[in-house]
Amino acid sequence: MEKSNFVDQIKVFCRSGHGGAGSRHFLRNKLTAKGGPDGGDGGRGAHIVLKGNAQLWTLLHLRYYKNVLAEDGENGSANNSTGRNGKDIIIEVPLGTIARNEETGEKEAEILHDGQEIIWMKGGRGGLGNSNFKTATNQAPTYAQPGEEGEEGIKILELKVLADVGLVGFPNAGKSTLLSSITAAKPKIADYAFTTLTPQLGMVEYRDGKSFCMADLPGIIEGAAEGKGLGHRFLRHIERNSILLFLIPADSKDHKKEFEILRSELEQYNPDMLQKDFVIAISKSDMLDDELKEAIKKELPKKIPHIFISSVTNQGLQELKDLLWNTMNTPTE
């Protein structure tokens, strides 16, 4: 089976660094037989940091990360010398990456901007040396703090594709063919369900050197909100698209029903998705005459813009770009 270069989820065991222990030391040299406490503090354990990188589109580079173990801080030493801090581990991830706790499912971090850094797992604080505990009544404290332990646990990094337009439709609706027709993307295309198993991204060149990003997402099926088929993995990517382009083939038995099923799956997964801009494109329209187009128009929702296209004959593709660009750049009220 062909391996995909698109990896949108990884699971990894992470442990931030433990803090170094404070020193329990007393000044001793040839001039001072019984000097006071001079134990230094321990160094901080290393953090595990997530950093956004706009040049990355996938988590592929992290596929073989099984354990991320950060460096411990050094112990304190004599002469009030503080131990060295552990060297932080910086994990670069694509924009749109979410970090979760595997056990609780809780979202712990989200990377949305290039260069954005978030301390995902804090290193333990270093312990205080015994010189910190000297008082008028206790001038020779023998106590120093141990360093704090770091955090550890199994973590999940998942990617939600950041694209301007997300293609939504049942398998074989023609999404991959459309993407290859209007972008430089070369998705695998064949006449069977779920040809697209991972998101494909392409840049659509518009007028005057402008462009926008379009994502062909794995085909949705009825029951996706309950996790059937590619289910939640597919729906997760749609959350970030500003426009959803519903692709319904001209040879569908019931165009309105197909749209309603797709819309219902999105609503069940996350009702906020209904706040996005919707556009309907009837694909494979080269097989329709004017009379059939008029019949299909009457089936479609009145308030949602629609267009008839054919990726094979290029029918309506420039008009589709215009419609998407105008929808994208129309201020919301």
Q: What is the 3-state secondary structure (H, E, C) of 85-127?
A: CCCCEEEEECCCEEEEECCCCCEEEEECCCCCEEEEECCCCCC
What's residue 72's pLDDT? 97
Q: What angle (nearest 5°) sits at the alpha carbon of residue 266, between those of residues 263 and 270?
A: 140
307, 323 Cβ separation under 8 angstroms: yes
Q: Domains in the chain, ordered, with CATH?
A: 1-159 (2.70.210.12), 165-328 (3.40.50.300)
Pick from 86-100, 105-119, 163-177: least confident: 163-177
Residues 217-262 have pLDDT tens digits of: 665 554 444 444 444 455 566 666 778 899 998 888 888 898 998 8
What's residue 41's pLDDT? 96
Give me the chain's average pLDDT, please.
82
Residue 4, both tokens: 């995909």
C-alpha–C-alpha distance, residues 280 and 86, integer Å = 54
What's residue 198's pLDDT? 57
Q: Residue 47: name the closest of 109, 128, 124, 99 by CA.
A: 124
Residues 11-64 have pLDDT tens digits of: 999 999 999 999 999 988 878 778 889 999 999 999 999 999 988 877 888 888
Q: Residue 42: name the closest of 82, 87, 80 by CA.
A: 82
Q: Identify any residues that bridge with 281 across adjacent strands, giving them in sequence order.
A: 247, 307
C-alpha dihedral sign at 170, 176, 182, 184: positive
Q: What's 199's DSSP letter?
A: -
What's residue 126's pLDDT? 96
What's residue 61's pLDDT? 84
C-alpha–C-alpha distance, residues 282 and 305, integer Å = 11
In a 3-state reduction of DSSP, which class is residue 75?
A: coil
Residue 209 predicted with pLDDT over 80: no
Residue 326 predicted with pLDDT over 50: yes
Q: Residue 14: name the closest of 40, 44, 51, 46 by CA.
A: 46
Percent of the chain at pLDDT above 90? Answer: 38
What's residue 217's pLDDT? 67
Amino acid of residue 27: L
Amino acid of residue 64: Y
C-alpha–C-alpha distance, residues 286 and 252, integer Å = 14
Q: Identify any residues that bridge with 248 across adjacent strands, giving them in sequence order.
A: 282
What's residue 330's pLDDT? 75
Residues 163-207 have pLDDT tens digits of: 788 888 887 777 778 888 887 555 443 333 333 345 677 778 888
Give the predicted TM-score (pTM) of the model: 0.63
Cα separations (Å) of 66 from 31, 93, 119, 154, 190? 54, 16, 19, 10, 35
Residue 118 predicted with pLDDT over 50: yes
152 or 252, greater pLDDT: 152
Phi, psi for residue 198 in degrees, rounded to 5: -135, 155
- Mean pLDDT, residues 271-279 taken together: 84
What's residue 222's pLDDT? 44
268, 225 Cβ separation under 8 angstroms: yes
Residue 141 predicted with pLDDT over 90: yes
Pairing of strands 9-15, 152-159: antiparallel
Residue 112, both tokens: 């949305």
Phi, psi for residue 184 in degrees, rounded to 5: -90, 5
C-alpha–C-alpha distance, residues 256 and 299, integer Å = 6
112, 125 Cβ separation under 8 angstroms: no
22, 128 Cβ separation under 8 angstroms: yes
Which segments of the chain are extended strands (E)?
A: 9-15, 48-52, 67-69, 89-93, 97-101, 107-111, 117-121, 152-159, 165-168, 200-205, 211-216, 243-249, 277-283, 306-308
